[in-house]
């Protein structure tokens, strides 16, 4: 059966296709059907249902057999997706084996089907996100190493500060990616947990077979067996959403930095060029940062969705009214937005265009003022901190007022030349000699990435 039509105009821009497949109607339905098939196998393995019924139930657990539009219309009446799906599943089974139909869904409740089906989808989503983060980390590690000694202006409060290196900036992006990879690895045992509690969480309908069925079901689905059902304890899902929020924010930082470096006035780093990419409908000269826009857009949208996940946590008793429902589209949309941002980040990182010459020219826009600290630090050791600071401040003001390079002003200042030779001044005014620990930060970020990827 075909999927219901949706709003697809922006999907290719904001969402990775493989992630949208995970959370498509087919993906959602198949996750729930995988639960039902595994439940039948588990119950047969401990003697709750006949082994002969399993094959008929399994054969009907194929999403292609179901009309998603009809299910959607039924959900509007039933209040959740499991009720009409289980009914449709029973009808499918009965067509070939009327006896097997009586054993489907035995002891389970709708939320067991939906939550565990969701966890199965999230496992696939997590694999995609982890794979993309690993690839992004590898690319950023290469770029950081390549540009570890490429000076550019550090910028604080959007103004030129002291020099940094492009490699150091990229290493900052890389470090955030590595930390997200660590967080995702750490939360896996909590997220990938079976939800199976029956009507109210006690599994009373299965009697003394409840625990063996639960163990067998967790094994069938290769999910962690939690200490108890988590019908209305939603911290597992919210933790995952929160980490994805961190991923989105970190990618947004990358996108923001690139978009600022790509501004006409800076023109230091660019997204990769491609035919038709970043153009304007009216201005032929434009080259817009369209990839960075996706990263920034996701970082802007995900926090609001994350707020919904947090707001839905205080769920009532053993089954929530409305709060559970608020999660159904929210967490998948977070996954989809992060997937789209990752796709754009990969394209951007792999094809990043760097203009090191322009970086050098921009460093000299202030005519040496960005190197004032370097001179002040050395003079402070000879004249005292306050005296050196005031002297350099005076020289900087003169350089601006007279529209002269700071090096020329310092060379005319007797209190400076009495302490520093011409060669010392030349060295102190060279950005390449004032990069501090930039290379070390790159090496450490790359080493951390390599350790994670080993």
Stated pTM of the model: 0.93
pLDDT of residue 344: 96
Whether residue 284 is predicted with pLDDT greater than 80 in this model: the reply is no
Question: Residue 127: which H helix or E strand, with range?
Answer: helix 110-146
Query: What is the C-alpha to C-alpha distance for residues 248 and 300, in angstroms, rounded to an integer?
Result: 8
**198 — alpha (psi -120 to 50), left (phi > 0) or beta?**
left
pLDDT of residue 7: 63
The answer on 256 and 184 residing in a single domain is yes
Whether residue 277 is predicted with pLDDT greater than 80 in this model: the reply is no
pLDDT of residue 5: 45
Q: 42-63 pLDDT, tens per residue?
A: 999 999 999 999 999 999 999 9
Please indicate, yes or no, if residue 265 is contained in any of the structural domains.
Answer: yes
The answer on 394 and 245 residing in a single domain is no
Whether residue 20 is predicted with pLDDT greater than 70 in this model: the reply is yes
- CB atoms near residue 373 (< 10 Å): 15
Model confidence band, residue 448 (pLDDT cutoffs 50, 70, 90): very high
Strand segments, DSSP code E, in 166-303 are 269-270
Strand partners, 203: none
Question: Helices 82-96 & 110-146, crossing angle to 10 degrees?
Answer: 110
Percentage of the chain exceeding pLDDT 90: 92
Query: What is the C-alpha to C-alpha distance for residues 138 and 450, in angstroms, rounded to an integer?
Result: 8
Strand segments, DSSP code E, in 9-140 are none
The answer on 402 and 373 residing in a single domain is yes
* 280 labelled catalytic: yes
- What CATH code is carried by the domain that includes residue 394? 1.10.40.30
pLDDT of residue 281: 57
Query: What is the C-alpha to C-alpha distance for residues 105 and 208, in angstroms, rounded to an integer?
Result: 17
Q: 373-403 pLDDT, tens per residue?
A: 999 999 999 999 999 999 999 999 999 999 9
- What CATH code is carried by the domain that includes residue 301? 1.20.200.10
Domain range enclosing 80: 24-108+205-221
Q: 336-355 pLDDT, tens per residue?
A: 999 999 999 999 999 999 99
Whether residue 213 is predicted with pLDDT greater than 80 in this model: the reply is yes
Contact 289, 259 (CB under 8 A): yes
pLDDT of residue 287: 76
pLDDT of residue 14: 87
Strand partners, 204: none
Dihedral over Cα of 240, 241, 243, 248: its sign: positive
The answer on 170 and 144 residing in a single domain is yes
pLDDT of residue 3: 45
**Active-site residue, from 142, 319, 398, 404:** 319
The answer on 160 and 123 residing in a single domain is yes
pLDDT of residue 283: 58
Please indicate, yes or no, if residue 6 is contained in any of the structural domains.
Answer: no
Number of domains observed in the structure of the chain: 3
Helix (H, G, I), strand (E, B) or coil at 329: coil
The answer on 293 and 217 residing in a single domain is no
Q: How far is CA 85 from the centre of its chain?
A: 32
Closest CA to 108 of 75, 84, 144, 83: 83
pLDDT of residue 286: 62
The answer on 376 and 352 residing in a single domain is no
Question: Helices 82-96 & 68-78, crossing angle to 10 degrees?
Answer: 130
Q: 229-252 pLDDT, tens per residue?
A: 999 999 999 999 999 999 999 999
Measured CA angle at 113 (ends 109, 119), to 5 deg? 140
Q: 161-186 pLDDT, tens per residue?
A: 999 999 999 999 999 999 999 999 99
Please indicate, yes or no, if residue 286 is contained in any of the structural domains.
Answer: yes
Whether residue 408 is predicted with pLDDT greater than 60 in this model: the reply is yes
Please indicate, yes or no, if residue 7 is contained in any of the structural domains.
Answer: no
Q: 291-333 pLDDT, tens per residue?
A: 999 999 999 999 999 999 999 999 999 999 999 999 999 999 9
Query: What is the C-alpha to C-alpha distance for residues 330 and 106, in angstroms, rounded to an integer?
Result: 29
Please indicate, yes or no, if residue 5 is contained in any of the structural domains.
Answer: no
Residues 6+ apart with CB under 8 A from 439: 148, 149, 165, 167, 168
Backbone angles phi, psi at 405, to 5 degrees: -70, 140
* 319 labelled catalytic: yes
**125 — alpha (psi -120 to 50), left (phi > 0) or beta?**
alpha
The answer on 124 and 249 residing in a single domain is yes
Whether residue 278 is predicted with pLDDT greater than 70 in this model: the reply is no
CA distances for 365 relative to 156, 159, 361, 401, 450, angstroms: 16, 11, 7, 15, 37
Query: What is the C-alpha to C-alpha distance for residues 43 and 51, in angstroms, rounded to an integer?
Result: 9
The answer on 292 and 248 residing in a single domain is yes
Residues 6+ apart with CB under 8 A from 257: 169, 173
Q: How far is CA 319 from the centre of its chain?
A: 30
The answer on 295 and 147 residing in a single domain is yes
Query: What is the C-alpha to C-alpha distance for residues 209 and 107, in angstroms, rounded to an integer?
Result: 10
- What CATH code is carried by the domain that includes residue 95? 1.10.275.10
Query: What is the C-alpha to C-alpha distance for residues 407 and 362, in angstroms, rounded to an integer?
Result: 16
Residues 6+ apart with CB under 8 A from 218: 194, 196, 224, 225
Closest CA to 48 of 222, 215, 199, 193: 215
Lowest mean pLDDT among 193-202, 284-293, 336-345: 284-293
pLDDT of residue 280: 52
**Active-site residue, from 280, 382, 385, 453:** 280
Strand partners, 151: 165
Place of tokens 């994670």: 452
Query: What is the C-alpha to C-alpha distance for residues 284 and 230, in angstroms, rounded to an integer?
Result: 56
- CB atoms near residue 151 (< 10 Å): 23
Q: 68-114 pLDDT, tens per residue?
A: 999 999 999 999 999 999 999 999 999 999 999 999 999 999 999 99
Please indicate, yes or no, if residue 11 is contained in any of the structural domains.
Answer: no
Section 436-452 average pLDDT: 97
The answer on 114 and 100 residing in a single domain is no
Question: Helices 235-261 & 110-146, crossing angle to 10 degrees?
Answer: 30
Q: Which residues of 305-332 are buried (b: 16+ CB within 10 A; e: fewer)?
A: bbebbeebeebeeebbeebbeebeebbb
Average pLDDT, the chain: 94
The answer on 51 and 115 residing in a single domain is no
């Amino acid at each position: 059966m075909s999927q219901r039509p949706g709003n697809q105009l922006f999907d290719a821009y904001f969402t990775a296709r493989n992630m949208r497949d995970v959370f498509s109607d087919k993906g959602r339905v198949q996750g729930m059907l995988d639960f039902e098939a595994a439940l039948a196998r588990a119950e047969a393995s401990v003697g709750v249902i006949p082994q002969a019924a399993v094959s008929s139930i399994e054969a009907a657990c194929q999403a292609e057999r179901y009309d998603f539009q009809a299910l959607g219309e039924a959900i509007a009446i039933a209040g959740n997706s499991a009720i009409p799906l289980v009914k449709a599943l029973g009808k499918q089974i009965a067509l070939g084996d009327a006896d097997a139909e009586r054993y489907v869904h035995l002891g389970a409740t709708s939320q067991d089907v939906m939550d565990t089906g969701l966890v199965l989808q999230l496992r696939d989503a997590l694999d995609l996100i982890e794979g993309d983060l690993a690839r992004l980390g590898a690319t950023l590690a290469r770029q950081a190493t390549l540009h570890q000694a490429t000076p550019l202006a550090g910028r604080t409060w959007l103004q030129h500060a002291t020099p940094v290196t492009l490699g150091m900036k990229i290493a900052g992006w890389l470090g955030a990616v590595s930390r997200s990879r660590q967080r995702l690895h750490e939360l896996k045992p909590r997220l990938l947990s079976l939800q199976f509690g029956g009507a109210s969480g006690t599994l009373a309908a299965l009697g003394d077979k409840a625990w063996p069925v639960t163990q067998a079901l967790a094994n069938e689905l290769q999910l962690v067996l939690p200490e108890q059902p988590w019908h209305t304890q939603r911290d597992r899902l919210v933790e995952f959403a929160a980490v994805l929020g961190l991923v989105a924010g970190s990618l947004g930082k990358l996108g923001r930095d690139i978009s600022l470096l790509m501004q006409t006035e800076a023109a230091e780093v660019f997204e990769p060029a491609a035919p038709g990419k970043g153009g304007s409908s009216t201005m032929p000269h434009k080259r817009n940062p369209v990839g960075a826009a996706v990263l920034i857009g996701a970082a802007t949208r995900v926090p609001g969705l994350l707020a919904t996940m947090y707001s839905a946590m205080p769920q009532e008793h053993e089954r929530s009214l409305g709060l559970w429902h608020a999660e159904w589209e929210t967490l998948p949309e977070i996954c989809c937005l992060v997937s789209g941002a990752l796709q754009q980040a990969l394209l951007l990182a792999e094809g990043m265009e760097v203009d090191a010459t322009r970086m050098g020219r921009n460093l000299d826009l202030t005519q040496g003022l960005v190197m004032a600290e370097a001179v002040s630090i050395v003079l402070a050791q000879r004249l005292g901190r306050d005296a050196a600071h005031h002297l350099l401040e005076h020289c900087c003001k003169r350089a601006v007022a007279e529209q002269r390079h700071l090096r020329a002003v310092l060379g005319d200042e007797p209190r400076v030349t009495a302490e520093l030779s011409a060669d010392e001044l030349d060295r102190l005014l060279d950005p390449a000699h004032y990069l501090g620990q930039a290379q070390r930060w790159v090496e450490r970020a790359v080493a951390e990435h390599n350790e994670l990827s080993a």
